Structure 1
Amino acid sequence: MPYTLLIRHCGQLLTLTGPPATRPLAGPDQSGWHIITDGYVACEGSRIAAVGPMAELEESQLTPATRTIEAHGRVVMPGLVECHTHLVFGGQRAAEFERKLRGESYLDILAGGGGILNTVRATRAASEAELLAAALRHLADFRRYGVTTLEAKSGYGLDAATELRLLRVAREAGLQQPVRVVPTFLGAHVPGPEYAGRPTDYLAMLVNEVLPQLDPAEIPFVDIFCEQGAFSVADSREFLTAARNRGFGLKIHAEQLHELGGCEMAAELGAVSLDHADYLSAEAAARIAAATQGRTVAVLLPLVPLFLRLERYAPGRAFIDAGLPVALSTDFNPGSCPSKNLWLALSMGCLKMGLTPAEAVAAVTRNAAWAIGQQQECGSLAPGLRADILVLNVGSLPEIPYWLGDNPVQQVIIGGELVEENM
């Protein structure tokens, strides 16, 4: 079959390919993936057909119908995989931003009825059409930043009806535009306001009334916030076990503000990712890496402590050295990270968490794909994978984190189609 799309003369083609094939990249492998100098990517329809140096391009596969994109010596890489967002919500919390600037803490605001509960009120009051319109706006912004696959958590309904509505909106938003959306059920964000002081009863409601209405083929993951003011390790274990028994993949928000042991508990249950992990120790990371054989990913969210003005960042360097795979994400949400700039998160992963540029790029592509179970579809440039490709306006890998806060994306290809051009 002739090529339908060719991207050629890539100065550095960041393939993100290389061993191991059966788990995420960790340790030396997180920076040991393949870069091709003066390379090309060829596509047949929505899939990648061939990747290699220009000297090996099969000209016989080109026809007058082949669309050609000249990279002109720029960096070309896989589309970004955004593996932790709270995409669907109502309202915003700019007023709380001011309160935080005056010194109030995240937990103080939550205890006073603000924080997540403020967004819950706005979300419950919003119509499904309003939530969908907002989600589509956010996805358009993500796409301009080069995000081609995105995980979308529920969690701002905190009752059965609204949580199901948020998942419907996330799935519908994925159908109405090119960025692929992977929904996650995070009804266990905090106890709903009707269950104040009764976290166990709230989780029982989710297990009995919501999980039976969800299909793991459509909503592949269940998540929980294990933290002081949210859910204990014991309650989180019981809830995640019930979800696993129903066929869902597991994720956890843990060790964000305190070291409670949630990450090790979730890893023991087979969680695909451990998210936040700012207070996870290097020793615990090594135990998790050994116990899971490097298959559980630590999803680190450096823009959250930046926005909340916290001093503690997850020790990403120590995690990688301990053999724990690391991914990076924005944690886009209205309270602790109202940013869709995954490139800024990548730079902060280098500046505050000790990742190298090559490790950080792997953290927003291949490892991020593993963190949401999409490694067979995206995250690398290899034959058979979906043709999600970025042409950047930089000439070398180290420039990606160097231009702090810039959006380096010149062209976005999703499924073999040019969908965004930032000229």
Structure 2
Amino acid sequence: MPIAQPYSLLIRNAAQVLTLVGPPPDKPLAGAAMSEWRIIDLGYVACYGGSIAAVGPMHELDEALIGPDTRIIEATGRVVMPGLVECHTHLVFGGNRADEFQRKLQGESYLDILASGGGILSTVRKTRAASDEELLAQALHHLKGFRHYGVTTLETKTGYGLDKPTELRLLRVARQAGQRQPVRIVNTFLGAHVPGPEYKGRPADYLAYLAAEVLPEVQGAAEFVDVFCEEGAFGVADARRYLQRARDLGFKLKIHAEQLHDLGGCLMAAELGATSVDHCDYLTPEGAAHVAAAGQGRTVAVLLPLVPMFLRQAQYAPGRQFVDAGLPVAISTDFNPGSCPSKNLWLALQVACLKMGLTPREALAAVTLNAAWAIDRQQDCGSLEPGKRADVLLLHVPDYRELPYWLGENPVAQVVIGGEVV
């Protein structure tokens, strides 16, 4: 039924409205569907309060619903699309690792840096030493940067405390950051990033500690539980037991897997009903088909193309083959201080096209609707549909095909979150 009240916000005369609406309604976009969603030429998006009220071509716009208080944004010559969904970040941490980056450029290996006390454990030390106020200030700074690139919903993982007090602090700081600015925050507990320094050489004992003493206290503060399944972190069997315990406690599941080796972590997590499997650089096309089947088309592969680029690695996830195998694909930055200190999700989209074989339309689906599925927010973001949250971007370009072309540029002209221009 049409809304009786006038629209509160109207974005009209857009050169293209990228709706991201397409079948199927009950699963992420996969295969051919990743590029078959609807584009409206010369269209509009109307909002009422914090929700989308109507989307369509200009000739269908009901002028009677434009009132004296309707805010009108002219989008002539511009693309209008859903807000970006950032589905894999490590937002809250202390300090940075610019000094280690310099050492890498001068030829030191990661293992050399790790042996000297660097790597993730250097961030753990800085994070444990930082005050809540320092962590919050830095998180808010980074969220401002994400808004600048058009991110309107963001998942953040813990994982730089590696002990109960600090991990709980990271969840609390992330929640506070979400309350102080408009980007919506989704919390994931990644206490199982690597074994805490107090558990060096005892990964199974560390996971048992997390399962017994930390996960029960995380309930209500985090929606997802994640684990890094990789050589040097946690093996497949231990990770399975840990994720099963998390699932029994009511958490949704994620996994870092197949980043450096093909261990089978992605398939294991999909068999447990994981919402997403992340990294996947060493997941084979055959493995992708098995993950798609085990996850019944609902487990999303979150690809992180800026990580191998920043680490100067040759291996990128074979995204083209994943799509062809029917595995739903999303794209994220993996913003973190060690392997991707970038908030530019547009650059991740562009590198996914250049190095992973995605088409522009597939890549756009991967940073919007499929990214929403990867954090279980598909019901209210990721596409422009009546009833969803009014998260909308106006871009400087007139055609979506320019988005992966202007390498490194930020195309965002205006950001609307929850019906408010921010």
Whichever residue aligns with residue 99 of structure 1, its letter is R
Corresponding residue number in structure 1 for 2:353: 350
Measured against aligned partners, the alpha-carbon deviations of 1:270-318 in whole angstroms (never above 9, x if no partner) come to 1100100000000000011122221100000000000000000000000
Corresponding residue number in structure 2 for 1:230: 233
1-side partners of 2:109 and 2:283: how far apart? 21
- For residue 114 of structure 1, report the CA deviation from its aligned partner: 1.5
Corresponding residue number in structure 1 for 2:173: 169
2-side partners of 1:370 and 1:256: how far apart? 21
Pairing 1:417–2:403 present: no
1-side partners of 2:331 and 2:138: how far apart? 24
Measured against aligned partners, the alpha-carbon deviations of 1:84-115 in whole angstroms (never above 9, x if no partner) come to 00000000001111222133333443344311
- Within the candidate set 178, 189, 193, 2:193 is matched to 189
Identify the range of structure 1 (94-103 vs 139-148) with the bigger mean alpha-carbon deviation: 94-103
Pairing 1:361–2:327 present: no
Alignment of 1:197-346 (within 5 A): 197-216=201-220, 218-346=221-349
Whichever residue aligns with residue 29 of structure 2, its letter is L
Pairing 1:76–2:71 present: no
Between Structure 1 and Structure 2, how many residues are aligned? 418
Whichever residue aligns with residue 194 of structure 2, its letter is V
Corresponding residue number in structure 2 for 1:394: 397
Stretches of structure 2 that go unaligned for 5 or more consecutive residues are none
- Within the candidate set 22, 25, 50, 2:29 is matched to 25
Pairing 1:115–2:119 present: yes
- For residue 2 of structure 1, report the CA deviation from its aligned partner: 1.6
1-side partners of 2:111 and 2:262: how far apart? 16
Structure 1 pair 107–246 and aligned structure 2 pair: CA distance change class (3 A): farther
2-side partners of 1:401 and 1:198: how far apart? 44
Corresponding residue number in structure 2 for 1:55: 59
Matched residue of 2:379: which SS? coil
- Within the candidate set 42, 48, 51, 1:44 is matched to 48
Pairing 1:131–2:132 present: no
Contact 1:106 1:308 in 2 (8 A): no
Stretches of structure 1 that go unaligned for 5 or more consecutive residues are none
Contact 2:331 2:371 in 1 (8 A): yes
Contact 2:267 2:294 in 1 (8 A): no
2-side partners of 1:415 and 1:231: how far apart? 39
Identify the range of structure 1 (98-107 vs 332-341) with the bigger mean alpha-carbon deviation: 98-107
Whichever residue aligns with residue 413 of structure 1, its letter is V
Structure 1 pair 162–269 and aligned structure 2 pair: CA distance change class (3 A): same
2-side partners of 1:360 and 1:50: how far apart? 25
Percent of pairs identical after alignment?
Answer: 72
Matched residue of 2:159: which SS? coil
Corresponding residue number in structure 1 for 2:8: 4
- For residue 201 of structure 1, report the CA deviation from its aligned partner: 1.1
Corresponding residue number in structure 1 for 2:108: 104
Matched residue of 1:141: which SS? helix
1-side partners of 2:259 and 2:52: how far apart? 38
Measured against aligned partners, the alpha-carbon deviations of 1:389-411 in whole angstroms (never above 9, x if no partner) come to 00000010110010000000000
Measured against aligned partners, the alpha-carbon deviations of 1:324-373 in whole angstroms (never above 9, x if no partner) come to 01100000000000000000000000000000000000000000000001
Contact 1:88 1:170 in 2 (8 A): yes
Matched residue of 2:403: which SS? helix
Whichever residue aligns with residue 97 of structure 2, its letter is R
1-side partners of 2:326 and 2:260: how far apart? 23
Structure 1 pair 298–204 and aligned structure 2 pair: CA distance change class (3 A): same
2-side partners of 1:74 and 1:210: how far apart? 48
Matched residue of 1:398: which SS? helix
- Within the candidate set 21, 34, 40, 2:38 is matched to 34
